[in-house]
């Protein structure tokens, strides 16, 4: 899955329309292989983004869970910790004078 598409289900507050649109845009970019479509493909590209946004909003509305809602700040902190563990920072080597 594209790393830029984040889970949107079971958050409090619920995912915004903007978050759903951004995920749909990333999905269409990934499967089409285009970051920005040509003029000839722009209409089909935008239509796909709109349709995926629409159906994703329906999906999120229809999903049911018994798990407590997740907190965005806590999830972001967990993701940052995983990233730091996976890609540890190294101090730049001192430049000899």
Domain residue extents for the chain: 17-71
- The predicted structure's pLDDT at residue 3: 63
Residue that wins the pLDDT comparison between 87 and 48: 48
Low-confidence winner among 30-34, 35-39, 85-89, 91-95 (lowest mean pLDDT) = 91-95
Q: Pick 91 or 78 by higher pLDDT.
A: 78
Average pLDDT for 35-48: 96
Environment class of residue 6 by beta-carbon count within 10 Å: exposed (0-12), middle (13-18) or buried (19+)?
middle
Q: What's the average model confidence in pLDDT over 57-62?
A: 96
pTM above 0.85, yes or no: no
For residues 71 and 54, the model is more confident at 54
Q: Is the peptide bond prior to 13 cis by the omega test (within 30 degrees of 0)?
A: yes
Tokens representing residue 56 in the block: 């994703």
């Amino acid at each position: 899955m594209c790393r830029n598409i984040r889970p949107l289900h079971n958050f409090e507050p619920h995912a915004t329309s903007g978050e759903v649109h951004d995920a749909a845009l990333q999905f269409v970019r990934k499967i089409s292989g285009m970051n920005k479509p040509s003029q000839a493909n722009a209409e089909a590209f935008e239509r796909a983004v709109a349709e995926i946004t629409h159906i994703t909003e329906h999906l999120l509305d229809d999903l049911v869970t018994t798990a407590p809602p997740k907190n965005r700040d806590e999830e972001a902190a967990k993701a940052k910790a995983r990233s730091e563990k996976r890609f540890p920072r190294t101090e730049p080597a001192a430049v000899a004078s």
